[in-house]
Amino acid sequence: MRKLKNLICASIGMAACFSSAFSALLIETSFVGDIGNAAHENGKGAVNYGYNIGTYEVTNGQYVSFLNAKAASDPLGLYNPEMTSSTHGGIQRSGSSGSYTYSTKSGKENMPVNFVSFWDAARFTNWLTNGEGSGDTETGMYNLTASGIDQNTITRDATAWNAGGIAIASEDEWFKAAYYKGGGLFAGYWGYANQKDTMNTSEANYENSVGFLTEVGAYATAESAYGTFDQNGNVFEWNEEIILNGLRGLLGGAFNLTKSQLTDSSGNTPHTESVQYGFRISQLTAIPEPSTFMLFVGGFALFAYGKLSKQK
């Protein structure tokens, strides 16, 4: 299978993307095709559109860019003090309210951000969808009304999604990217996100095999069929699924707990901020061509390097 890696430039319009290409937040993504694939027997994984999903979990470095843009006072609580106080956190805050600044802890820029709630992730993706910088956190991909947050009813905005905005990966998007074998509409599913039905601690960070978080992509030989990494360990990842009793979905594994396998899924209250919780983004896309350099959907720009991996 051909795997295409792109870098999303979440700036509005061609000029903005070119002018900010070296300062805008760039997130590497992997294209997931096999449009209209069959679901697993558990009902998960069928997706009838092509999309890009984060090759890696969102990192501390990427989240710091968000905090420095939107959390000088931080009335929304986008920063959790445990990001600093915990040995497993990767972000430091300096200054006082109104002039807070944020930086990554030494050596942790490329580790997955943790201590983030589902709503923190939603605000991050709104910010990306709205072009970063001073972009709004409360509207865009998710319209975060107080009642919708309290009742846990907020879903992806179809207009923003179809226009090329950035979302938290849905349960089906995440599941397909991790486990689907690819190469056809009825190819089936692997047991783990390493293109195998077995996994050990040389292929993912789980069960305290390392004892701390690792940089995203550290397990370079354990990629999914679509070229994603770390979907079996490091941190559990929020997804959009709304579960009964006011929960949101979580998939993946955690550095200090179990690995993830095909049959696993869980959830927690969306306000929860845990050492074990992070997230991954997704974006609708047309079927890319190998020569793609710049893709445009509804005014949102994709900065694509067209980096093709070897044929599989």
Domain boundaries, the chain: 4-71+111-308
- For the segment 165-219, what is each residue's pLDDT rounded down to a tens digit? 999 999 999 999 999 999 999 999 999 999 999 999 999 999 999 999 999 999 9
Q: Specify the CATH architecture of the domain 4-71+111-308.
A: Alpha-Beta Complex (3.90)
Q: Mention every residue, 6+ apart, whose C-beta is less than 8 A from residue 266.
A: 236, 249, 250, 251
According to the model, what pLDDT value does residue 116 have? 98
Question: What residues does 26 pair with on adjacent strands?
Answer: 9
According to the model, what pLDDT value does residue 257 have? 87
Q: Mention every residue, 6+ apart, whose C-beta is less than 8 A from residue 297.
A: 163, 164, 284, 285, 286
Q: Print pLDDT tens along the chain (312 aa).
A: 445 567 665 433 323 333 222 347 889 999 999 999 999 999 999 999 999 999 999 999 999 999 999 999 999 999 999 999 999 999 999 999 999 999 999 999 999 999 999 999 999 999 999 999 999 999 999 999 999 999 999 999 999 999 999 999 999 999 999 999 999 999 999 999 999 999 999 999 999 999 999 999 999 999 999 999 999 999 999 999 999 889 999 999 999 987 666 666 789 999 999 999 999 999 998 544 333 323 333 333 332 333 323 333
Q: Of 182, 265, 268, 274, nearest to 228 (Cα)?
A: 182
pTM exceeds 0.85 for this model: yes
Q: Mention every residue, 6+ apart, whose C-beta is less than 8 A from residue 289.
A: none
Q: Are 127 and 58 contacting, i.e. CB atoms less than 8 angstroms apart?
A: no
